[in-house]
Amino acid sequence: MSRKTIGIDKYADFDDWYQAVLREADVVDIRYPVKGMIVWRPYGLKALRLAQRILMDLLERTGHQEAYFPSLIPESIFAKEKDFLEGFGGETFVIEGTGTKKFNEKFYLRPTSETVMYYMWSLWVKGRRDLPLKMYQAVNVFRYETKMTHPILRVREIMGFIEAHTAHATFEESEVQIREAVGLYKEFFDRLQLPYFIVKTPPWDTFAGAEYNYDFITVMPDGKGLELGSVINLGQRFARAFDIKFMDTDGNVKHVYQTCYGVSERVLGAVIGVHGDEKGLFLPPEIAPIQVVIVPIAKPDEKEIHEYARRVKEYLESNSVRVYLDEDSEHTPGWKYYFWEMKGVPTRLEIGPREAELKTVTIARRDNAPKTTVKLEELMSSLNQAWREVNKYLRERALEHLKKLTTIVTDCSTPGERTKGLIVAPWDGSKRDAEELEKVFNRGVLGEITESPIDLPPASNYSTCSGGKADRWALLGVTY
Amino acid sequence: MSRKTIGIDKYADFDDWYQAVLREADVVDIRYPVKGMIVWRPYGLKALRLAQRILMDLLERTGHQEAYFPSLIPESIFAKEKDFLEGFGGETFVIEGTGTKKFNEKFYLRPTSETVMYYMWSLWVKGRRDLPLKMYQAVNVFRYETKMTHPILRVREIMGFIEAHTAHATFEESEVQIREAVGLYKEFFDRLQLPYFIVKTPPWDTFAGAEYNYDFITVMPDGKGLELGSVINLGQRFARAFDIKFMDTDGNVKHVYQTCYGVSERVLGAVIGVHGDEKGLFLPPEIAPIQVVIVPIAKPDEKEIHEYARRVKEYLESNSVRVYLDEDSEHTPGWKYYFWEMKGVPTRLEIGPREAELKTVTIARRDNAPKTTVKLEELMSSLNQAWREVNKYLRERALEHLKKLTTIVTDCSTPGERTKGLIVAPWDGSKRDAEELEKVFNRGVLGEITESPIDLPPASNYSTCSGGKADRWALLGVTY
C-alpha cells in the first residue's frame, strides 16, 4: 500500500495542500452540499475541542462564567442598535415560519450575540454590585458570508464561537478589561505556538456599534491574513440601545461600559496552515487528539513485544496521555510512521525486540529530531521534554513562516515585487494615507500595529507613502 | 434580610414551586421574549454541563466518537425520508433568506440530525470495516412545539441534545447496540438518582421513520410523565432513503441497520423536579456546581478562623472538589445555610472557633442528617461518605416520589380516583385495548413496560379493561 503523505508544498499550492490535509487527516468533510457549511470528523473535532478547552479554562480562571442565550432573536430586539442592524442584517439568516406555518414576527439566527445578551442584561444589572459582569458562551453563529468561503477559515456556520461579554461601571474599567482580554488571547495563541500581529483597527472599520477593537492577525501559507480573534470596546452604545443601567454609589443612574471578544474554529485552521508541512498535519501536543502513537515492530506472533507495547499504553493512559497503540497487522511499521506523521501526531514510540527486552522505549518526534531510547520509568519526563522541544520547534518555524510572508516596507516606490503576504508600512493614521497605502500595495489596511512578532524600528524614522511623516506602522493584507 | 427559601409544596403547586426554584436558584431566566426559548444562567448551566459530561464520557468509553454536522439542512436532503418529513416538517423552523436576500432553496433548522448525518454516512460507509459506525454530537435542536411549552421541560430550542447514531452490518448487531444504549442510559439516570420506567412505544407511536423505540419515563411532581431519553431502532428505512450501503464479506452490497438515541436538557428538569423540595433545589453531588459550601462562623476580625476556612478551601480544591467559601459579611451564618440549601448544595462545612482551634470541620448535609465533626485529614473520606449517603437518600426519596405518583391498576372499574400521575395497567398490546385504556384513564398509552422501578406482579394474572387476557403492563400518562 502506498505511503500516506501529502507531498505538496503548502507555499506553492496552498489550496491543494489544505484540501488534501483536511481530507487525509480526517479533519473535516467538505462534501456537505451547503456552501460554507462543513462536517467535522471526530479527529478534527477533538483537536478543536481541546483548543476550546484551553480558552474556556483561561476565561473561567479570570472570572468569566458560562451562560447560554437563545439562537433566535426576534426582530424587535435585533433591530435595537441601528449600526449593528445595518452591519449584520444583510448577512443574517432569517426565519419566518415552519414548514407549514408563517409567523407574525421575523427571527434572526444569531450572527453574534450582543443583542440577545444585552436585552437580558438590562434585566440583570441594577447596582454596582452586579458589576463587573463577565460572561461567555460557546455557540455556533451563522453569517451569510458574501466573500468566498473556505473550509474552517471562512464559513457560514461558525463553529464553537467562544464569545465573551463584559459590563463595567466606568470606561477605565472597560479598558482594563480590554487589556485582560488581550492578555488571555496572547496566552491562548502562544500555547498553540501561533505568531500574530495585534492591530487596532481604523475607526472606519470597527465592529458594528463599537468604539474600537483590536484584532489578532496571523498569515496563512498563501499569504492571506487570517483574523484569529477580536477584542472590542463597545463603549456605551449598546448600553444605551438596550438600557443597561446601574445605580452608582454616588446615587446616580448610569449606563454601563461594555466589551466583547471572540475566537472561533478559525484558530484550528491557523494551526493547520501555519504548522502543517509536506508530510501533513502537525499538531501542538496540547491539542493533539493523539499525543503519542505506539508502533510495535514485531510479527503478530511475537507476543512479548505486543504485550509490552500494551503495558506501555496503559502506563501512558494512567498518566493521562492521549495514546493510540497501532496494532494493525496489515501495514508495515514504516507505513504507519508516515500515516501518523500525516495525522500530525507529535511523538511516536517504537517498540521492538530490544525495547521489550530491556524495558525501554524509543521516542521519535514529528519534527525529525534524532530518536532517543529511554527507560520506561523515565518515559513521562522524556515525553514532557520532547513536547517542550516540539513546541519550541513549532514556535520557531511558525515565526520563520510569518517572516517569510511579511514584508516590512520603508519605501513606497517598489510595490511591484510584493505580490504575496502581509505588508508592514509606515503610516500617519489618517484615512487619506490609508487609502494611499491600499492603492500602492493593493491590500486593505488592517489596522495600526500595537504588537508585532517581528522587531520593528520606530515608524517615525520613515515617511508615509503620501509623503508625510509616519508615527505608526500599518498592517496591510488580503484577508480570509 | 429574610430567609431565602422556597416554602412551597411542590406537590401542591408544582408550577409556582418550579418557577420559584428556577428563578431563586439562578437556573434559567424565563423572561426572554420568545415563547419556548430560555436563557441559561451560569449556575444552572454548570449543573447541566456536568450532567452532559457524564453522558458524553459514557458514550466515549463505549466507542462513540463526537462529530459535528451542520445546523441547516437543505430541503432536498430533509425531504428524502417521507415519514420523517411528515413527522417533522410542520414543527421545523425554515430559513428562506437573509435580512435582505431570498434564497433559491429552503433550509430547515435541524429538529434532529438523522437526515444531515446519514447523507454524509452514505459517502463514508463502503465496507464491513467501516462498521459499526458509532457517533454522537452535542447540539441544539429546534422544534416549533405546538404543545404548551415549559421551561427546560418542553422548549423550542432544545439545549445540549446529545444524540448518538450508529450503523451496523446486521439487524442482530443493531439490537445488541440498542441494549448497549439502554444500558448506558440506565447508568446515566442511575447516577443522577432518577427513577424511571422503560417502555417500548406502541407501533402506532414510534419515532418518525423508525422500527421501534424504547423511552425512559419519569414523573414530575404534578403527576405528568417526562420522557428522559429515547432509544430508537431505525432498521433500514433511512439507509434505503439515503443509500447507505456496504460491501459485505459475502460479496453482496447491503444496506446498513441503524439506531439512534438522544437525551436533552430535560434531564436537568427532571433532577430539579424529582429531587427538589420546599427548601429549593437539591443537586446530586456529581453534578452540583458547588459540592461544598464553607460557612465561617466568625466575626470579620476573627482572623484565624477565616484563615483556617481558606486553608480548608484550598485543601478541597487541591482534591478537585468544587467548593465555595462564603465570606460575605452582610449575612448571618443562618441566612447562608438557608441560601445554599435553596441552591441545592449537597454538603456544607461549618467552621467556627472550635473547628479552627482543633483543626476539624463540621459537615452538614442538605438532607439534614445529623452533623458530624471530623479531623481535617479525614475530610475527603468523610465527604465521599457523605455524598454516598446523600445519593442514597435522594435515590430512596425519588423512588417514594415515583411510587406516590404511580397507580398500579388491576381493576378498571374505579378510574375516578386516579386524578394525578402515571397509571400502570394490564394490557394485551392491541391498539383496540390501548384505546379502551386511554378512554378509561383519560391518559395516553406511553408503551409497554419493559422495566419498572416498582415490582409488578405478572400481568397475565389480570384481565384487560376490554375484558380480555392481559400479557403485559401498559404505562399511561399525560406527558410534557
For A372-387, what is each residue's pLDDT tens digit? 999 999 999 999 999 9
Closest residue on chain B to A117 (Cα): B39
Distance in Å, alpha carbon of A368 to nearest chain B alpha carbon:
30
Distance in Å, alpha carbon of A92 to nearest chain B alpha carbon:
5
Q: Do B34 and A107 touch (CB under 8 A)?
A: yes
Order across the sheet with B133-142: list the strands: B65-66, B133-142, B157-168, B257-263, B225-235, B212-219, B197-200, B444-451, B472-477, B422-427, B406-408
Closest residue on chain B to A124 (Cα): B29
- Facing B39 at nearest CB: one of A38, A49, A69: A69
Provide DSSP, A48-105.
HHHHHHHHHHHHHHTT-EE-B--SEEEHHHHTSSHHHHHHHGGGSEEEEEESS-EEEE
pLDDT for the residue B418: 61
Closest residue on chain B to A111 (Cα): B98
Residues of B in contact with A33 (CB under 8 A): 74, 76-77, 119
pLDDT for the residue B81: 84
Helical residues (DSSP H) of A405-457, grouped into ranges: 431-441
pLDDT for residue A415 is more than 80: no
pLDDT for the residue B417: 57
Question: Cβ(B434)–Cβ(B427) under 8 Å?
Answer: yes
pLDDT for the residue B415: 62
> What single letter denotes the amino acid at residue A390?
V
Q: Do B100 and A93 touch (CB under 8 A)?
A: no
Q: What is the rounded CA–CA span in Å between residue A134 and residue B464? A: 60
- pLDDT tens readout for residues B8-47: 999 999 999 999 999 999 999 999 999 999 999 999 999 9
Q: Do B99 and A108 touch (CB under 8 A)?
A: yes
Report CA Rg, chain A.
25
Classify B212 as helix, strand or coil: strand
- pLDDT tens readout for residues A352-369: 999 999 999 999 999 989
Residues of A in contact with B52 (CB under 8 A): none
- Facing A40 at nearest CB: one of B39, B67, B89: B67
Work out the pLDDT band at A416, boundaries 50, 70, 90.
low
Interface size between A and B, measured as CB pairs under 8 A: 145
Q: What is the rounded CA–CA span in Å between residue B280 and residue B216? A: 25
What sign does the dihedral B199-B200-B204-B205 (CA atoms) show? positive
pLDDT for the residue B85: 86
Q: What is the rounded CA–CA span in Å between residue B416 and residue B363? A: 47
Q: Do B72 and A40 touch (CB under 8 A)?
A: no
pLDDT for residue B208 is more than 80: no
**Residue range A406-419: mean pLDDT, rounded:** 77
Distance in Å, alpha carbon of B252 to nearest chain A alpha carbon:
23
Classify A453 as helix, strand or coil: coil
Work out the pLDDT band at A180, boundaries 50, 70, 90.
very high
Report CA Rg, chain B.
25
**Choosing among A71, A82, A120, A155, which should be mutated to test the B contact, i.e. which has the most B CBs within 10 A?**
A71
Q: What is the rounded CA–CA span in Å between residue B479 and residue B227? A: 8
Question: Cβ(A143)–Cβ(A110) under 8 Å?
Answer: no
Distance in Å, alpha carbon of B444 to nearest chain A alpha carbon:
26
**Residue range A238-253: mean pLDDT, rounded:** 96
Q: What is the rounded CA–CA span in Å between residue A164 and residue A231? A: 9
Work out the pLDDT band at A87, boundaries 50, 70, 90.
confident
HEC string of A315-364 equals HHHHCCCCEEECCCCCCCHHHHHHHHHHCCCCEEEEECHHHHHHCEEEEE
pLDDT for residue A89 is more than 90: no
- pLDDT tens readout for residues A425-456: 999 999 999 999 999 999 999 999 999 999 99
pLDDT for residue A418 is more than 70: no
> What single letter denotes the amino acid at residue B295?
V
Q: What is the rounded CA–CA span in Å between residue A54 and residue B99? A: 35
Work out the pLDDT band at A207, boundaries 50, 70, 90.
confident
Q: Do A120 and B65 touch (CB under 8 A)?
A: no
Report the relative pairing of strands A292-296 and A323-325 from DSSP bridges.
parallel
Which cell numbers in the block locate residue B453?
A: 422501578
Query: To 5 degrees, how large is the angle CA A116–CA A118–CA A123?
Result: 110
pLDDT for the residue B346: 98
* Cα dihedral A109, A110, A111, A116 in deg (nearest 10): 150
Q: What is the rounded CA–CA span in Å between residue B199 and residue B215? A: 5
Residues of B in contact with A34 (CB under 8 A): 70, 72, 74, 107
Q: What is the rounded CA–CA span in Å between residue A28 and residue A275? A: 17
Alpha carbon A171 to its chain centroid, in Å, reads 28
pLDDT for the residue A412: 82
**Choosing among B32, B78, B106, which should be mutated to test the A contact, i.e. which has the most A CBs within 10 A?**
B32
Which cell numbers in the block locate residue A203?
A: 475607526
Whose cell is 448487531? That residue is B173
* Cα dihedral A270, A273, A279, A284 in deg (nearest 10): -20
pLDDT for the residue A420: 87
Q: Do B72 and A116 touch (CB under 8 A)?
A: no
- Facing A39 at nearest CB: one of B32, B33, B68: B68
Closest residue on chain A to B63 (Cα): A42
Whose cell is 463599537? That residue is A210
pLDDT for residue A139 is more than 80: yes
Residues of A in contact with B94 (CB under 8 A): 95-99
Residue A65 to residues A133, A365, B258, B365, B368, Cα–Cα distance (Å):
9, 38, 39, 27, 30
Could you say which DSSP state residue A450 is in? E
Alpha carbon B174 to its chain centroid, in Å, reads 24
- pLDDT tens readout for residues B104-161: 999 999 999 999 999 999 999 999 999 999 999 999 999 998 889 999 999 999 998 9
- Facing B95 at nearest CB: one of A32, A46, A95: A95
The residues, ordered by sequence, that sit 6+ positions from B87 with a Cβ below 8 Å of its Cβ are B207, B208, B209
Nearest residue to A262 (alpha-carbon basis) of A164, A137, A129, A150? A164
Mean pLDDT is lowest, of A11-15, A205-209, B258-262, for: A205-209
Residues of A in contact with B120 (CB under 8 A): 29, 31-32, 39
Closest residue on chain A to B41 (Cα): A67
- CB atoms inside a 10 Å sphere around CB B146: 10
Q: What is the rounded CA–CA span in Å between residue A154 and residue A224? A: 12
Cis peptide before B132 (omega within 30 of 0): yes
Closest residue on chain B to A74 (Cα): B34
* Mean pLDDT of the residues in chain B: 95
pLDDT for residue A407 is more than 60: yes
> What single letter denotes the amino acid at residue B54?
I
**Residue range B57-77: mean pLDDT, rounded:** 97
Q: Do B93 and A93 touch (CB under 8 A)?
A: no
Classify B417 as helix, strand or coil: helix
pLDDT for residue A274 is more than 90: yes
pLDDT for the residue B317: 97
Q: Do B39 and A68 touch (CB under 8 A)?
A: yes
Q: What is the rounded CA–CA span in Å between residue B371 and residue B363? A: 6
**Residue range B438-448: mean pLDDT, rounded:** 94
Q: Do B98 and A92 touch (CB under 8 A)?
A: yes
Work out the pLDDT band at A7, boundaries 50, 70, 90.
very high
More confident residue, A263 or B80: A263
**Residue range B444-450: mean pLDDT, rounded:** 97
Closest residue on chain B to A44 (Cα): B67
pTM of the model: 0.96
Q: Do A70 and B32 touch (CB under 8 A)?
A: yes
Nearest residue to B216 (alpha-carbon basis) of B174, B266, B152, B172? B266
Cis peptide before A132 (omega within 30 of 0): yes
Mean pLDDT is lowest, of A47-56, A82-91, B172-181, B258-267, for: A82-91
Nearest residue to B91 (alpha-carbon basis) of A72, A105, A102, A98? A98
Work out the pLDDT band at A123, boundaries 50, 70, 90.
very high
Work out the pLDDT band at A3, boundaries 50, 70, 90.
low
Q: Please, how many CA atoms are within 13 Å of residue A227, restricted to the half-sphere of its CB?
A: 20
Q: Do B49 and A42 touch (CB under 8 A)?
A: no
HEC string of B434-452 equals HHHHHHHHCCEEEEEEEEC
* Cα dihedral B147, B153, B159, B164 in deg (nearest 10): -90
Q: Do B70 and A142 touch (CB under 8 A)?
A: no
**Choosing among B52, B93, B133, which should be mutated to test the A contact, i.e. which has the most A CBs within 10 A?**
B93
Residue A301 to residues A297, A306, A324, B175, Cα–Cα distance (Å):
12, 9, 20, 35
- The backbone torsions φ and ψ at residue B419, rounded to the nearest 5 degrees and listed phi first, read -85, -15
Whose cell is 487528539? That residue is A289
B371: burial class by Cβ within 10 Å (0-12, 13-18, 19+)? exposed
pLDDT for the residue A368: 82
Residues of B in contact with A119 (CB under 8 A): 32-33
**Residue range A161-188: mean pLDDT, rounded:** 98
Q: Do A72 and B34 touch (CB under 8 A)?
A: yes
Work out the pLDDT band at A5, boundaries 50, 70, 90.
confident
Residues of B in contact with A107 (CB under 8 A): 34, 93
ipTM surpassing 0.90? yes
- CB atoms inside a 10 Å sphere around CB A314: 12
Alpha carbon A90 to its chain centroid, in Å, reads 25
